[in-house]
Amino acid sequence: MATPYITIDLEKIEHNAHTIVELCKIHGIEVTGVTKVTCGHPGVAAAMLRGGVVSIADSRLENIQRLKDGGVDSTYMLLRLSPVSGVDGVIESVDVSLNSELSTLAALSQAADRRGLVHDVILMVDLGDLREGIWPDDLISFVREALKLPGIRIRGLGANLACFSGVAPSEDNMNLLVELADTIEKTCDLELGWISGANSSGLELIEAGRMPKRINHARIGEAILLGRETIHRRPWPGTWQDAFILHAEVLELKTKPSMVVGKRGEDAFGRQPVFEDRGEIERALLNVGREDIDVKGITPLDPCLRILGASSGYLAMDVTDAQGSLQVGDELAFSLNYSALLAAMTSQYVKKRSMRPIGNENEM
């Protein structure tokens, strides 16, 4: 097997999806599985659907197209706001999109109307995380204008928290979303089916039974894929954290000093690395680097190995404590956080190897 590669345990993903879906179901919430961190990996989406998610969402049309080409049969939600230049693709490829701009809605409206279609949208409200969304004060006038557009059907309200600024979902901000939905239904004579309040940061609120009743939809990625809620990054009970494992190969293994020799300027990334003098150490160079991963986001599975740093193509490690058990050509395994997983799944140099039930493996 060519290195580096990432193994994807689809059974673990299915299991995680099942755990999250069952939890949400108890609290009246349907779950859409979010595949964007895997670049729309068809095997991952299929595992999420087997685990019980009602639909699949991704932030990019290219990823949704990849899922469709991979034979994944689902309804699709586009998470990232549509570009005005790409409304035709949105109308043709996805069943529902998230929106916050009237001019974009007008373009979607035209594109849908031209095809005799009606496109479902969820309006995003900014509850304070300051990424996408209509400011609450502007929502009613926005909805009034949006309702004039043919070819567009407003199906719900949504909000995204934590991803950008780390604002946590709370009873207060979730109640605000529900109140806004109630107000709009009354003043604009409209029925909002979906109140899409949560992502993986909402699990603690949901589990505690403190998510307002009207919140009936969640868009979940990380908790299913990496088994963590995203406020404290706490491993979620009943889920696996190791569905994805990165494997890289030892290219060089030598005893060298732990301190550099010679006068120092900046490294390739404009920084001045700090070194700790630990005398001579056993150093390993592996064939994965910043082109493939976020160095801070990977952890060797063998706790006696230590990451020293990385350049674009190399990962340098202190393997002294492996006590001579390693050889050039050996593979080392690493767990990944969200940031490292995103990079590894995006890197064309990291092969993706799906593991299916009963040892049947293949590459996708």
Residues 173 to 202 in contact with ligand PLP, rule: CB under 6 A: 199-200
Active site residue 36: yes
Q: What angle do CA 282, 284, 287 make, to 5 degrees?
A: 180
Q: Which stretch binds ligand PLP (CB under 6 A): 11-19, 221-229, 295-303, 353-361?
A: 221-229
Reported for 323-326, long-range contacts at CB under 8 A and 24+ positions apart, including other chains, are 324/282, 326/250, 326/253, 326/282, 326/284
* Contact code string over 78-117 relative to ligand PLP, x by CB under 6 A: -x--------------------------------------
Structural contact between residues 258 and 318, judged by C-beta atoms closer than 8 angstroms: yes
127 binds ligand PLP (CB under 6 A): no
User: Which among 36, 263, 296, 351 is annotated as catalytic?
Assistant: 36
d(CA 113, CA 313): 49
Residue 223: CB minimum distance to ligand PLP, A: 6
Q: What angle do CA 289, 290, 294 make, to 5 degrees?
A: 110
Residue 218: CB minimum distance to ligand PLP, A: 8
Q: Which stretch binds ligand PLP (CB under 6 A): 10-18, 219-227, 291-299, 340-348?
A: 219-227
Q: Which of 11, 30, 36, 89 forms a contact with ligand PLP (CB under 6 A)? A: 36
Structural tokens at position 305? 């190995």
222 binds ligand PLP (CB under 6 A): yes
Structural tokens at position 346? 């995006």
33 binds ligand PLP (CB under 6 A): no
Q: Which stretch binds ligand PLP (CB under 6 A): 47-55, 62-70, 133-141, 222-230?
A: 222-230
Cα separation of the two ends of the chain: 14
41 binds ligand PLP (CB under 6 A): no
Structural contact between residues 266 and 347, judged by C-beta atoms closer than 8 angstroms: no
Q: What angle do CA 136, 35, 24 make, to 5 degrees?
A: 65
Residue 36: CB minimum distance to ligand PLP, A: 6
Q: Which is nearer to ligand PLP, 30 or 282 (CB)?
A: 30
In terms of Cα–Cα distance, which of 93, 70, 73, 72 is closest to 352? 70
Q: Which is nearer to ligand PLP, 14 or 249 (CB)?
A: 14
Structural tokens at position 6? 């990432």
Reported for 68-77, long-range contacts at CB under 8 A and 24+ positions apart, including other chains, are 68/93, 69/42, 70/42, 70/43, 70/45, 70/364, 71/42, 72/42, 72/45, 72/46, 74/45, 74/49, 77/32, 77/122, 77/219
219 binds ligand PLP (CB under 6 A): yes
Angle between helices 42-50 and 10-26 (to 10 degrees): 40
Q: Which is nearer to ligand PLP, 151 or 197 (CB)?
A: 197
Q: Which of 149, 161, 206, 220 forms a contact with ligand PLP (CB under 6 A)? A: 220
> Under rule CB under 6 A, how many of the chain's residues touch ligand PLP?
14
Residue 345 CA from chain centroid, whole number: 11
Residues 137 to 166 in contact with ligand PLP, rule: CB under 6 A: 160, 163
Residue 40: CB minimum distance to ligand PLP, A: 13
Binding interface with ligand PLP (CB under 6 A): 34, 36, 59, 79, 160, 163, 199-200, 219-223, 230
Residues with catalytic roles:
36
